[in-house]
Chains A and B, each alone.
Chain A
Amino acid sequence: DIVMTQSPDSLAVSLGERATINCKSSQTVLYSYNNKTYLAWYQQKPGQPPKLLIYWASSRQSGVPDRFRGSGSGTDFTLTISSLQAEDVAVYYCHQYFLPPYTFGQGTTLEIK
C-alpha cells in the first residue's frame, strides 16, 4: 500500500497568515504515461463529509477559494492557505488515487492561533 504521511499533525495559525500542510507518499503517485499526479486534498469540518479542494495535486475544485493552493510532485506535496480565514478551521487530508488500495494521510488539524 502507498502510505501517506502528513505533517504537522496539528497547526495553529493567526487569521490572515499563511498555513502550510505537507504530505509525503511512500512511492511516487506520478503516472509517467500521462504525466498526471494522482494526489488530492480534502477539507473536513466536524459532522461533515470530506470536501474536495484540490485534485491532480494542483487543480482547484470549482468553488474553492483561490487562497487554497496545491503544489508538489513525485512524493512530496503541499497544501497552502495563503491568508487564513475563520471558516478554514478544519481537518485536512491528502489522498492518493494512483494505486489501490487508495489511501489517505492521517489528517492535519488546523486551528486559529
Chain B
Amino acid sequence: QVQLQESGPGLVKPSETLSLTCNVSDDSINRYYWSWIRQSPGKGLEWIGNIFYSASPNYNPSLKGRVTISVDTSKNQVSLKLISVTAADTAVYYCARHWAKNYMDVWGNGTTVTVSS
C-alpha cells in the first residue's frame, strides 16, 4: 500500500509563503492525480487543488490565485505553495491520491501549519 508523507515548516509568518511537500512512497506518482486538502476548525475540509504529472493543475477558485501545485516525478514528490498567507490559512494540510474525476482513496497523515508572527 502506497504511503504519503507531508512535510514542511510548522510555523509561517503572515504575508509569507507556505511551502509543503508530499512524498509518495512508491513509483505511482505518474499514474494518479494528487490533491491537497486542508482542514481548519472554522472551515472544515477544503479541497485546495490537484495535479496529474503531465497536465495543468486545477485549483480551488477560493484561493484566489495564491496557490501553486507541482509534481517532481524524479523525486516522487508533490509540492504545494501558498503565497501571502494569513491566520485563515492555519490548518492541517493533507495530500491524497485519486484517479481522474474519482474519490480520494489514500491520504497522508497531514501536517499542521500555523500562521503567526
Which A residues have a C-beta under 8 Å from some C-beta of B?
38, 40, 48-52, 55-56, 61, 93, 95, 97-98, 100-107
Complex contact A55–B47 (CB within 8 A):
no
Which 4 A-B pairs have CB atoms at the shortest separation, nearest pair first?
Answer: A49-B107, A104-B45, A101-B60, A55-B103
In the assembled complex, the CB of A68 is this many whole angstroms from the nearest CB of chain B, namely 15
In the assembled complex, the CB of B105 is this many whole angstroms from the nearest CB of chain A, namely 5
Q: How many inter-chain residue pairs (CB < 8 Å) link A and B? A: 51
B22-50 vs A, CB cutoff 8 Å, 1 = contact: the mask equals: 00000000000001000000001111001
The total of chain B residues at the interface (CB under 8 A) is: 21
In the assembled complex, the CB of A47 is this many whole angstroms from the nearest CB of chain B, namely 9
Complex contact A49–B103 (CB within 8 A):
no
Indicate whether B61 reaches chain A with its CB closer than 8 angstroms.
Answer: yes
In the assembled complex, the CB of A108 is this many whole angstroms from the nearest CB of chain B, namely 11
Contact of B98 among A93, A97, A103, A106 (CB under 8 A): A97
Nearest B residue to A34 via CB reads B101
Main secondary structure of the interface of B (DSSP, over half): strand
Indicate whether B58 reaches chain A with its CB closer than 8 angstroms.
Answer: yes
Complex contact B102–A50 (CB within 8 A):
no
In the assembled complex, the CB of B77 is this many whole angstroms from the nearest CB of chain A, namely 18
Nearest A residue to B4 via CB reads A49
Q: A49-B94, A49-B108, A49-B109 are in contact. Are A97 and B44 (CB under 8 A)?
A: no
Which B residues have a C-beta under 8 Å from some C-beta of A?
35, 44-47, 50, 58, 60-62, 94, 98, 101-105, 107-110
Q: What are 17 A-B interface contacts by the 8 Å CB criterion?
A: A38-B101, A49-B107, A49-B108, A49-B109, A50-B45, A50-B94, A52-B104, A55-B105, A95-B45, A97-B98, A97-B101, A97-B102, A97-B103, A100-B50, A100-B58, A101-B60, A104-B44
Complex contact B61–A52 (CB within 8 A):
no
Contact of A95 among B61, B103, B109 (CB under 8 A): B103
Complex contact B104–A93 (CB within 8 A):
no
Q: Which residues of B contact A103 (CB under 8 A)?
A: 47
